[in-house]
Structure 1
Amino acid sequence: MSAVKPPLLGCIADDFTGATDLASILVRGGMRTVQTIGIPDAALADTLDADAVVIALKSRTSPAAEAVRESLEALEWLRQRGCSQFFFKYCSTFDSTPAGNIGPVTDALLQALGSDFTIACPAFPENGRTLYRGHLFVQDGLLSESGMEHHPLTPMKDANLVRVLSQQTPSPVGLVRYDAVAQGAAAVGSRFDELRGEGVRIAIADALSDADLLTLGEACASLTLVTGGSGVAQGLPANFKRLGTLRQVDAAHMDSVEGRAVVLAGSASRATNAQVAEWMHAGNAAFHIDPLAIAEGRDVVGDAVAFAEQHEPALIYSTGNPDAVRQAQAELGVERAGALVEEALGNIARRLFDKGFRHFVIAGGETSGAVVKALDVKALRIGRMIDPGVPLTLSLGGEAPLLLTLKSGNFGAQDFFSKALRFMQGATA
């Protein structure tokens, strides 16, 4: 076991930016939080002094069996560190396919923990995700009309999450309706008991506001496993405070780092497209990564690195409108198009690191995974929040400390790139 105080909460996230999103929520609640990139090795594990540890996997679009295996390995590591409660984090748009991976991973975690019940609540009202009578809304429209129905890997064409989850698991799926949530934690707890009595193992939980998420968090105090988007984790730190097990410290503190800056964007989401457009509209330098050019053998990486050196801070982006993305995927195949872009952005990051770049703003879960791997980042100390769900982070392990933001494609205001760079500059002041 580690010489440092054991963490209280152990979290498993199915992608990198989702992990950072969750970690930022926990920091805001007063928990000193470290995010690891995959399962830490023994040397790093013994240095992770934190109230919460979030293990970032890349399992959202993996085959279900692979996602289950990786999640169980992460769970075992967290149990060995001494965590008393566990959280499985997935996207606030419930990204998945009929085969998984949310249902299969939840089932496997419940079984491994010897637990008979948990909730599933991807709601994040601060970012426009709400749940009512089991239906997920994105802003004012249903999930199935939000643009997520066109996602290239996990198209979400049904907003009824009870129905969606029931396709992924043999476990009975129930619903904690808003009627119960509005009455407070005790009423939610009673609803949990009713559902257990009916044989339900996983319950979709309604939430329309942050207050609802706090209610759900309090009601989940006795659950060994909680699952959902990062929003529902808002209510978990208070449970540890009530128990007197949470230290009173500045959870967001981090050291400063000097260095040059770059923005790398690989997400094809509407939000990231808008952020790219805003960056260029403001007259900032931008270099487009074309997967077709990479496939033709052009030195796209070298050109992008040279551009970033000459135009600091520059945006290097592969983001495009849906028609452009579909054209590249049609010519190269979905997997190859994505892999070419991820590899290129990772190589660009590595070469810029070697030239003294230490501030990286990264948009997109797959892109973030590729970049942190290329930079050999082992773990992240989570700091102040830049926009809802996106904090400033400090790398741990690796060759040199870095300031990074790992932004989910769907998150952030239109001026997020400029805002993130200002946060990084403020951290070095």
Structure 2
Amino acid sequence: MLLGAVADDLTGATDLALTLARGGMRTVQVMGTPAPDLDLSGVDALVIALKSRTIPAPAAVAQSLAAARALEALGARQIIFKYCSTFDSTPDGNIGPVADALLDLLQTPLTIACPAFPTNKRTIYQGHLFVGDLLLSDSPMKDHPLTPMRDANLVRVLGAQTKRKVGLVPYQIVAAGADAIKSAFERATGDGISHLVVDAISDADLHAIGAAVSDLPLITGGSGIALGLPENFRRQGLLAQRQGDTDFRAPHGRRVILAGSCSAMTRQQVAAAQAAGCPSFRIDPLAIAAGKLSAADIVNWVVGQNNVDKPPLVYSSADPAEVEAIQGQLGRTEAGESVEHLLGEVAVRLRDIGFIEFLIAGGETSGAVVGALGVAALRIGPEIDPGVPWTVSLCKQPLALALKSGNFGAVDFFLKAWGKLP
């Protein structure tokens, strides 16, 4: 194995696995530390998906260290700590504490922090993260129900999460190329800096950064940081030239959309699907808490929808004001967890009666559903939209799964995804 990755949520792991697979690396994604009997022969990259983004920092550190140790044992030459391209975290972590722990584990003095993903309009300039034309702090992420991001200055945000020194590689150095970036790494190490936020506004920048980090044992960032990594291994004669997974085939059967994300983009995707005629069922967290809504109720509704061209949509997506009101009654975490648990149970019941194709929107929701289904590993398939592929579960009863981060995908994602499934 050449490359190992620890991802703090499921959809982010899938996004990274897609990037590596497109770069020609034979990539497998697993949920949690891989089982000893999992066949990883011939695998170039292994991505371990955790559900650690919003749990207490000590638990996130413990899970991430266990995953990294497993990757080391499998022979990974380099490790990526993957988090969201909008740097989703709280003032207490978990990005800083996990990165610090991994630096200690790998006994290395320096890593980078680069969540840039220009294809999805996430760019970094002078240490400030932009979402499209907006600073992160002015984007819809400022209202995220679990990780509201109200400061776009990543040097300052990361600095609040670590006791180590945080620095910046500004764009003028990045634009000068890989050698200039490497020189910045050397200067930072001499200055006692452990975390370097690196500017990037284009894929060309990410390729240059990728070349510069070839000797770093640890890299942290979004999936975009992996764009240049496969070529490093090719230059070393460790990776063959190949064109992704050409024999990917998915099972086909009844399909359903389960959307738990309340992001602005997912709400637009829900509205677009409804406008196109997809039957929809909205989950009310208050009804769950009152015992007035069960998984059986939702499954009965889904089964009753027979239009194969318009898959049924089950969603809990709501605008920030409504989410805040519900959280005020049920609690900040309890509201989301009740929906996630319910959608997990719905997915299991649907699978047991023959549903095969699942489109899941939201990182936390995807983690809950995949966990409930008992999926241990995924094979990465074709891209639907940047950062979102179809996958197939590696189990006795394969399922086709599209696991979408809340903010990813075009407005028509729920409608066009099915046409991308081989």
TM class, shorter-length: over 0.9
**Pick aligned residue for 2:15 from 4, 13, 21:** 21
Residues 384-411 of structure 1: CA distance to partner in whole angstroms, max 9, x if unpaired? 11100001111013x4001101100010
RMSD over aligned Cα, in angstroms?
Answer: 1.1
CA contact (8 A) 1:15 1:58 kept: yes
Paired with 1:138 and 1:326, the residues of 2 have a C-alpha distance of 23
CA contact (8 A) 1:263 1:362 kept: yes
Q: Which residue in 2 is equivalent to 1:359?
A: 357
Q: How does 1:38-77 map to 2 (within 5 A)?
A: 38-44=32-38, 46-47=39-40, 49-77=42-70
CA contact (8 A) 1:34 1:48 kept: no
Q: Which residue in 1 is equivalent to 2:128?
A: 135
Paired with 1:80 and 1:358, the residues of 2 have a C-alpha distance of 35
Paired with 2:344 and 2:382, the residues of 1 have a C-alpha distance of 25
Do the aligned partners of residues 48 and 402 (structure 1) sit closer, same or farther apart at CA in structure 2, a change above 3 Å counting? farther
CA contact (8 A) 1:181 1:188 kept: yes
CA contact (8 A) 1:289 1:300 kept: no
Q: Could you tell me how far 1:48 is from its partner in structure 2? A: 5.5
CA contact (8 A) 1:33 1:251 kept: no
Q: Could you tell me how far 1:49 is from its partner in structure 2? A: 3.8
CA contact (8 A) 1:36 1:53 kept: yes
Unmatched 5+ residue regions in structure 1? 1-6
Paired with 2:133 and 2:83, the residues of 1 have a C-alpha distance of 21
Q: How does 1:365-384 map to 2 (within 5 A)?
A: 365-384=363-382
Q: Could you tell me how far 1:248 is from its partner in structure 2? A: 3.5
CA contact (8 A) 1:391 1:405 kept: yes
* Partner SS, residue 37 of structure 2: helix
Letter in 2 for 1:232: I
Letter in 2 for 1:230: S
Q: Which residue in 2 is equivalent to 1:413?
A: 410
In the alignment, is residue 287 of structure 1 matched against residue 281 of structure 2? yes
Paired with 1:387 and 1:381, the residues of 2 have a C-alpha distance of 17
Q: Which residue in 2 is equivalent to 1:4?
A: none
Q: Which residue in 1 is equivalent to 2:73?
A: 80
Between 1:316-325 and 1:200-209, the stretch displaced more is 316-325
Q: Which residue in 1 is equivalent to 2:400?
A: 403
Residues 64-116 of structure 1: CA distance to partner in whole angstroms, max 9, x if unpaired? 11111111100110001111011000000101111111111111101110111
Q: Could you tell me how far 1:247 is from its partner in structure 2? A: 3.0
Q: Could you tell me how far 1:250 is from its partner in structure 2? A: 4.1
In the alignment, is residue 300 of structure 1 matched against residue 294 of structure 2? yes
Letter in 2 for 1:19: A
Letter in 2 for 1:302: A
Paired with 2:110 and 2:129, the residues of 1 have a C-alpha distance of 21
Letter in 2 for 1:355: I
Paired with 1:161 and 1:331, the residues of 2 have a C-alpha distance of 33
Q: Which residue in 2 is equivalent to 1:258?
A: 252
Paired with 1:78 and 1:282, the residues of 2 have a C-alpha distance of 45
Between 1:47-56 and 1:355-364, the stretch displaced more is 47-56
Letter in 2 for 1:192: F
Paired with 2:249 and 2:163, the residues of 1 have a C-alpha distance of 47
Q: Could you tell me how far 1:157 is from its partner in structure 2? A: 0.9
**Pick aligned residue for 1:391 from 365, 389, 392:** 389
| Structure 2 length-normalised TM | 0.97
CA contact (8 A) 2:86 2:136 kept: yes
Paired with 1:189 and 1:119, the residues of 2 have a C-alpha distance of 11
Report the identity percentage: 57
Paired with 1:392 and 1:355, the residues of 2 have a C-alpha distance of 22
Paired with 2:381 and 2:241, the residues of 1 have a C-alpha distance of 16
Letter in 1 for 2:417: A
Residues 234-275 of structure 1: CA distance to partner in whole angstroms, max 9, x if unpaired? 111111111121133442342331221111000000010000
In the alignment, is residue 347 of structure 1 matched against residue 340 of structure 2? no
CA contact (8 A) 2:145 2:323 kept: no
* Partner SS, residue 344 of structure 1: helix
Paired with 1:170 and 1:294, the residues of 2 have a C-alpha distance of 42
CA contact (8 A) 2:24 2:230 kept: yes
Q: Could you tell me how far 1:47 is from its partner in structure 2? A: 4.0
Paired with 2:302 and 2:241, the residues of 1 have a C-alpha distance of 42
Paired with 2:240 and 2:292, the residues of 1 have a C-alpha distance of 53
**Pick aligned residue for 1:188 from 181, 184, 191:** 181
Residues 96-143 of structure 1: CA distance to partner in whole angstroms, max 9, x if unpaired? 111111111111101110111110001111111110000001100100
Unmatched 5+ residue regions in structure 2? none
Residues 314-348 of structure 1: CA distance to partner in whole angstroms, max 9, x if unpaired? 01111111122122111111111111100110011
Letter in 2 for 1:413: A
Letter in 1 for 2:285: P
Letter in 1 for 2:129: L
In the alignment, is residue 235 of structure 1 matched against residue 233 of structure 2? no
CA contact (8 A) 2:23 2:243 kept: no
Paired with 2:33 and 2:230, the residues of 1 have a C-alpha distance of 23
| Structure 1 length-normalised TM | 0.95
Paired with 1:40 and 1:256, the residues of 2 have a C-alpha distance of 23
In the alignment, is residue 172 of structure 1 matched against residue 170 of structure 2? no
How many residue pairs end up in the alignment?
Answer: 417
Q: How does 1:325-344 map to 2 (within 5 A)?
A: 325-344=323-342
* Partner SS, residue 227 of structure 2: helix
Q: Which residue in 2 is equivalent to 1:36?
A: 30
In the alignment, is residue 122 of structure 1 matched against residue 115 of structure 2? yes
Letter in 2 for 1:387: D
Do the aligned partners of residues 375 and 83 (structure 1) sit closer, same or farther apart at CA in structure 2, a change above 3 Å counting? same
**Pick aligned residue for 1:96 from 89, 94, 99:** 89
